[in-house]
Amino acid sequence: MLGEMWQFRGRYKILHITWFAFFLSFVVWFNFPPLATTVKADLGLTTEQIRTIAICNVALTVPARIIIGMLLDKFGPRLTYSLLLMYAAIPCIMFASAQTFSQLVISRLLMGIVGAGFVIGIRMVAEWFPPKEIGLAEGIYGGWGNFGSAFSAFTMALIAGWLAFGAPGSGLNWRAAIAGTGIVAALYGVFYLLNAKDTPPGKAYRRPASARGLEVTTKRDFWFLMLMNVPLSAILGLVAWRLKKLGLYEAGTMYLIWGVLLGLYLFKAYNCWAVNKDLMTGKKRYPAEDRYNFSQVAILELTYIVNFGSELAVVSMLPAFFERTFTLSPAAAGMIASSYAFMNLAARPGGGLISDKLGSRKLTMGVLTGCMGIGYLIFSQVTSSWALPLAVALIMCCSFFVQAGEGSTFSIVPLVKKRVTGQVAGNVGAYGNVGAVLYLNIFSLLPGWLGGGADSSAAIEAATASRFFQIMGVAALIVAALCFVVLKEPKGSFAEAHHDEERTVSSSSPVFEAESI
């Protein structure tokens, strides 16, 4: 596959135009952090308000990834990705024209939906590549696409400076730069609609019997699914509390939002019940070969909390960390911080390739997650006394394990159950954003905890960063231990074709035919 990868036809064309769609969605999604200090100065925002905007940027991605997973299983990745890219222009233009903190919050909440694009390509790539190559293919898609966040960190400040037309710091520069990324994404959405295909010629697109909720295959797994859906709503409740704390609305409004979130959880639970009703009432029983363990989805959700969740959090705070710790300009700090996400180009495909070649996707997942935890613990010791090149080298080393772990996670996701790959990817991807929101909330609250409520100082900010990386490191080590205990090697991990496809072709069972609708 490595030798054929540079071709631009057949499945490789689909791979390349799909990772670039993901790339643009991440350029749009992360076009704010490199310009955060400029936006703060231009609109007179506080540090806490800036951190809240960063949290809002990833909040709605949690439910969006679930919903997008359902839509793509039903309508296919081509149409779903195209429409999402076209939509990206709306929150970009809203943010670029915002004049108040409330307008910034609303536009970044809507921007979080764009971050759901990742799960679409997971299904697209799985349709075009066999299991034995899925790790590298998904790694290239995820890694090269995820580089969009590094591209934003590296270029947004420069582009904004160029667009200032000799007047750096004016409102025009950051506004024009952010609006421009959305317009480019929308134009590419039209291109993707005209050039992508859901499946190779002669292959049918397999849909679940219903996309209303995730299909499970045992009663115990249904209740496990109900439990694992709780954090997806609870984390949005945390965001609502955060916005109330900043005075965006009163306590009554927060309680109303909590009530709505509870209602949404119950609605989602009802839909899952509707999909699995026959199973739960005993009218349907899956044969052993058609079952999958939801515990495998759950452990992948946890791995994505600690790898992708931490990446989103670090990408959001790293430019300011380097700017403050090493007394750099915003543009220089953004470029240096981009080295963290820059590793996506090699690390995520590398993680997928290791998973393909090592012969054990479970071992790969556990080792990479453990090394990531150790890397974060080491980086927690970085201070202004360190040499800048050493700090950059360390964060790049740490990021390799973070992003290789992401590649390893999604080399397993398409192998759990083919017909519900979109929903599994949506659930796992949503948990990445649960991790991001949780980590960013912890990061925003740490100064108050460590300073005893006193005003933030340089010493408190330094202690905050150190403790933040320690928390992420310990969490990763715990999940690594769980991987070795809970995670199982998927069926047909290195086969020539997906397990579900082989079985559907060879079986005449009415159960299989009904479920391939």
CATH of the domain at 231: 1.20.1250.20
Would residue 224 count as lying in a domain? yes
Distances (CA, A) of 178 to 107, 111, 290: 12, 12, 47
Would residue 2 count as lying in a domain? no
Q: Which amino acid is at 318?
A: L
**How far apart (Å, rounded) are the C-alpha atoms in residues 222 and 216?**
6
Would residue 137 count as lying in a domain? yes
**How far apart (Å, rounded) are the C-alpha atoms in residues 31 and 27?**
6
Residue 455 binned pLDDT confidence (cut-offs 50, 70, 90): low
State how many domains the chain has: 1
81 membership: H or E segment, kind and range: helix 77-87
Tens of pLDDT, residues 280-320: 999 999 998 888 899 999 999 999 999 989 988 887 788 88
CB 461 within 8 A of CB 442: no
Would residue 248 count as lying in a domain? yes
**How far apart (Å, rounded) are the C-alpha atoms in residues 396 and 346?**
11
**How far apart (Å, rounded) are the C-alpha atoms in residues 313 and 331?**
19
Tens of pLDDT, residues 318-339: 888 888 889 888 778 877 877 7
Structure tokens at 515: 């479920």
> For the chain, what is the mean pLDDT?
84
**CB burial readout 28-61, b (16+ within 10 A) else e:** bbbbbbbbbbbbbeebebeebbbbbbbbbbbbbb
Structure tokens at 79: 């149409």
Angle, helices 47-59 vs 421-451, to 10°: value is 160
Share of the chain above pLDDT 90, in %: 38
User: Domain containing 209: what range?
Assistant: 10-515
Closest CA to 402 of 303, 498, 490: 303
Residue 495 binned pLDDT confidence (cut-offs 50, 70, 90): low
**How far apart (Å, rounded) are the C-alpha atoms in residues 474 and 314?**
15
Would residue 4 count as lying in a domain? no
Would residue 273 count as lying in a domain? yes
Tens of pLDDT, residues 85-96: 999 999 999 999
Q: What pLDDT is recorded for position 453?
A: 65
Tens of pLDDT, residues 354-406: 877 777 888 999 999 999 999 999 999 998 899 999 999 998 899 899 988 98
* Range with the poorest average pLDDT among 25-39, 45-59, 495-509: 495-509
**How far apart (Å, rounded) are the C-alpha atoms in residues 33 and 35?**
5
CB 403 within 8 A of CB 344: yes
Would residue 185 count as lying in a domain? yes
Provide mean pLDDT across the span 11-34: 91
Phi, psi of 388 (to 5 degrees): -55, -45
**How far apart (Å, rounded) are the C-alpha atoms in residues 295 and 266?**
22
Tens of pLDDT, residues 244-285: 887 878 999 999 999 999 998 999 999 999 999 999 999 999
Q: What pLDDT is recorded for position 17?
A: 94
pLDDT at 11 over 70: yes
Would residue 5 count as lying in a domain? no
Q: What pLDDT is recorded for position 289?
A: 83
* Range with the poorest average pLDDT among 117-121, 231-235, 338-342: 338-342
Distances (CA, A) of 171 to 43, 54, 176, 181, 229: 9, 20, 9, 17, 42
**How far apart (Å, rounded) are the C-alpha atoms in residues 82 and 178?**
20
**How far apart (Å, rounded) are the C-alpha atoms in residues 139 and 133?**
10
Q: What pLDDT is recorded for position 3?
A: 56
Would the pTM count as exceeding 0.85? Answer: no
